[in-house]
Structure 1
Amino acid sequence: MGDSQPQAFSVRIVSIDHYMAPPIPGFDVSYSSFHGGKVNEVPVIRIYGSTPAGQKTCLHVHHKLKYEWNR
């Protein structure tokens, strides 16, 4: 436990898509100051892939807009 390095989660990406879903209360943004009202749907990015150990993965990424990609 002396290792202060955070563990990384590595995924080889096979496919990426997105879908719109109702916001999860207390987790997703539920109000838009831009539109001045309640948000009915939020974008969720879905990443399909596998880990270095060969485990299949499907990640649902919240809090990122469709046009915002992280490296």
Structure 2
Amino acid sequence: MIGDLTADQAAAASGRHPDTIRRALADGSLHGKQRTRKGRWLVEPACLAAWESGEACAHHEQKSNVVPFRDRSAS
């Protein structure tokens, strides 16, 4: 079983530039995770394959309870 890929490994596997992968991760079009804030990105191979084929991975279909800071209203 293959583990999660770093952004550089995902770039090498997909033939894309690492900055392209990082931009896709940052804008949410490619599903990935960070263990710590501003940590390195990790991508599951299935998510990378779905992104390359223009589909959403199963993770994107799940609802998250995380609200980005910029979307929170001042109370």
TM bucket (normalised to shorter chain) is under 0.3
Of structures 1 and 2, the larger Rg is shown by 1
- Higher helix fraction (1 or 2): 2
- Higher strand fraction (1 or 2): 1
Relative contact order (alpha carbons < 8 A, sep ≥ 6): 1 or 2 greater? 1
TM-score normalised over the length of structure 2: 0.24
TM-score normalised over the length of structure 1: 0.24
